[in-house]
Amino acid sequence: MPLTGQAFIGAQRAAHAGSTFQALNPSTGQSLDPPYFSASTADVDKAARLAGEAAPTLAAASGISKAALLRDIAARLDALQQPLAERAHLETALPMPRLLGEVTRTTGQLRTFASLIEEGSWVDARIDTPLPERKPLPRPSLRSMLRPLGPVAVFGPSNFPLAFSVAGGDTASALAAGCPVIVKAHAAHPGTSELVGEVVQQAVAAAGLPEGVFSLLFDSGIEVGAALVRHPLVEAVAFTGSLGAGRALMDMAAARPRPIPCFAEMASTNPVFILPGALRSGPESLAQGLFNSFTLGAGQMCTKPGIVLVPDQPEAPAFQSKLADLVNQSAPFTLLTAGIAHAYARATTHRASQAATVAQAPASAADPACPAHAQLFETSLEAFLREPALSEELFGPDTLLVHCPSPADYLRVAQSLDGHLTASILGSEDDLAAHRDLIAILEQKAGRLIFNAFPTGVEVAPAMVHGGPYPSTSNSQYTSVGTGAIHRFARPVCFQNFPDAAVPQELQSTNPLGILRQVDGIPTRDPLTS
């Protein structure tokens, strides 16, 4: 499949017209062909209208048929694993093993949602049987279930060119819910996006679904995204990226004449609280684990640990010394884009004016075009509490140690925190038992609490919560990873007094799909007894 640089407006390719941009190889600084054409307002409108037209058909499709689409997309992506990873490597400089694995994660996610909708119970079917003899008034028959919201605009981030991009978790969960998807590709990996977009559109066509089920638009600026979020036919937004861009989309979605939900995953510093037992049981391995976590993916992970609370105790110097050695000896990292590299350089310089630099990896002649040198900062408890900027996310391979006289100080730190995706506690089980208050506060500040592990690594599983209070996300009531992510794109609809033939199969008396339902409040897979 040669790359063309053109958007997919449904099954059609957009015109070779308008302004163009090119991806950049972050290792070499070289531009990558082909040039990509920014979508026009007319392209956005056409994609939205096609999505609106496709919505009823996709909403009426069974779980089995939507699952077949997801499985076909997954199979086609698996068949392209090597070329996909190679193009993504050119565009992101992420290592090939990581990118090959990301293809597998992407197809695994698609199959996870396929399994979920094949089984079918996710729709939360509820049936209240009629009580015609009830006084003073009879109770009607009520049956409700989750139904799709309609067209969803998906914005992927720079740091997961596959698993959170064109056919990533947002697209997979939106399609699984029965919502058409319009993806605005991230400008840093348009070639990877085009390859995946071609696959998705092929699968849509092969399934005999309307072309408007999927469109893919390119843009290096903000116009296309803004037009999408404001389009009257778009019903929801899923975004992963920076706080600035995410908040702008949130505000646009909320300011529409008819506001729509915006699920934005944005900024998280993922605080790590070290308790005495963790340092006692091995300060050097603790340092190694932390270093691995904050430099994973060159520190460009939404769950990178960016704040580390360290208690003053005898093993603390060994921990910090080992961490400093690892940082000082680390090779230069390649960041995803020139913009991210500039932002990292600027932010670390600024941070060095607010906190002390403990260690910094050296620049070298072998530096890539978009370089980053790992950095380790430290500050005191009081300085940290005084300066809110110290708890902001830096996107790159750095972290900040906050020295606390004692873990008793952690409550004040926890209270001062904004929302985060994760909060980690490292220590013995006795430490944990002694810090129930800390857990109670952190539960209010994060979506996932982690004991004795580092926060990077987000499992795709039913119990995962990849979400958290603002500013880590726009809406802490949902997760963007794991099967729960499908709930972002559905809403309950109740059918009152409808005959069996006029309601979806999920609600019919015989329970033909055999799903778990709440019948008069009791979970059961049984048919209704009439």
Site for its own copies in 198-217 (CB under 8 A): none
Q: Does 448 bind its own copies (CB under 8 A)?
A: yes
**484 to 503, contacts with its own copies by CB under 8 A?**
484, 487, 490-499, 501-502
CB 324 within 8 Å of CB 357: no
Q: Closest Cα to residue 442, out of 351, 307, 247, 283?
A: 307
The residues facing 196 across adjacent strands are none
Q: Which is nearer to its own copies, 332 or 419 (CB)?
A: 419
d(CA 287, CA 114): 40
Q: How far is the CB of 209 from its own copies (least distance, A)?
A: 16
- Side chain identity at residue 122, one-letter code: W
User: Which residue among 265, 315, 378, 506 is the active-site one?
Assistant: 265
Residue 311: alpha-carbon gap to chain centroid: 32
**Where does this chain touch its own copies (CB under 8 A) — which range of 34-42, 290-298, 347-355, 438-446?**
438-446
Encoding tokens for residue 465? 């919560």
Work out which of 29, 462, 512, 514 binds its own copies, going by CB under 8 A: 462
132 by Cβ neighbours in 10 Å (0-12 / 13-18 / 19+) ranks as: exposed
Work out which of 2, 132, 365, 436 binds its own copies, going by CB under 8 A: 436
**113 to 132, contacts with its own copies by CB under 8 A?**
121, 126-128
d(CA 305, CA 412): 19
Q: How far is the CB of 32 from its own copies (least distance, A)?
A: 30
179 in catalytic set: no
**175 to 194, contacts with its own copies by CB under 8 A?**
none
Encoding tokens for residue 113? 């949602």
CB 196 within 8 Å of CB 166: yes
d(CA 108, CA 511): 29
Work out which of 470, 505, 509, 527 binds its own copies, going by CB under 8 A: 470
Q: Which is nearer to its own copies, 131 or 206 (CB)?
A: 131
Query: x/- binding map, residues 406-435, to its own copies, per CB under 8 A?
Result: ------------xx---------x--xx--
**261 to 300, contacts with its own copies by CB under 8 A?**
261
Q: Closest Cα to residue 370, out of 302, 291, 298, 301?
A: 298
Work out which of 14, 48, 153, 446 binds its own copies, going by CB under 8 A: 446
Residue identified by tokens 């290592």 is: 95
| Residue 282 backbone zone (phi > 0: left; psi -120 to 50: alpha; other: beta) | left
Q: Does 479 bind its own copies (CB under 8 A)?
A: yes
Q: Does 149 bind its own copies (CB under 8 A)?
A: yes
Task: Tally the C-alpha atoms within 13 A of residue 254's C-alpha that lie toward its C-beta.
Answer: 10
Which uninterrupted H or E stretch holds 341? helix 338-354
Work out which of 133, 137, 244, 365 binds its own copies, going by CB under 8 A: 137
Q: Does 518 bind its own copies (CB under 8 A)?
A: yes
Q: Which is nearer to its own copies, 289 or 339 (CB)?
A: 289
Encoding tokens for residue 235? 């019903």
Q: Which is nearer to its own copies, 202 or 452 (CB)?
A: 452
Q: How far is the CB of 440 from its own copies (least distance, A)?
A: 5
Query: x/- binding map, residues 352-391, to its own copies, per CB under 8 A?
Result: ----------------------------------------
Q: Does 439 bind its own copies (CB under 8 A)?
A: yes
Number of H helices, E strands in the chain: 16, 23
211 in catalytic set: no
Dmax (CA) of the chain? 85
Q: Does 450 bind its own copies (CB under 8 A)?
A: yes
**Where does this chain touch its own copies (CB under 8 A) — which range of 135-143, 226-234, 285-293, 334-342?**
135-143
Peptide bond preceding 136: is omega within 30 degrees of 0, i.e. cis?
yes
Q: Closest Cα to residue 101, out of 117, 118, 84?
A: 84
Q: Closest Cα to residue 419, out of 248, 247, 172?
A: 247
Q: Which is nearer to its own copies, 17 or 96 (CB)?
A: 96
Ordered alpha helix ranges (H), 130-179: 169-177
Q: Does 453 bind its own copies (CB under 8 A)?
A: yes
Q: Does 449 bind its own copies (CB under 8 A)?
A: yes
Q: How far is the CB of 110 from its own copies (least distance, A)?
A: 16
**47 to 76, contacts with its own copies by CB under 8 A?**
55-56, 59-60
**89 to 108, contacts with its own copies by CB under 8 A?**
101
The sheet carrying 181-184 orders its strands as 12-13, 8-9, 214-217, 181-184, 152-155, 236-240, 262-265
Q: Does 139 bind its own copies (CB under 8 A)?
A: yes
Q: How far is the CB of 145 from its own copies (least distance, A)?
A: 9
Encoding tokens for residue 52? 């609106």
d(CA 453, CA 282): 14
Work out which of 474, 480, 508, 511 binds its own copies, going by CB under 8 A: 474
User: Which residue among 262, 302, 370, 404 is the active-site one?
Assistant: 302
Query: x/- binding map, residues 223-262, to its own copies, per CB under 8 A?
Result: ---------------------------xx--xx--xx-x-
Encoding tokens for residue 520? 């008069």
Catalytically active residues are 265, 302
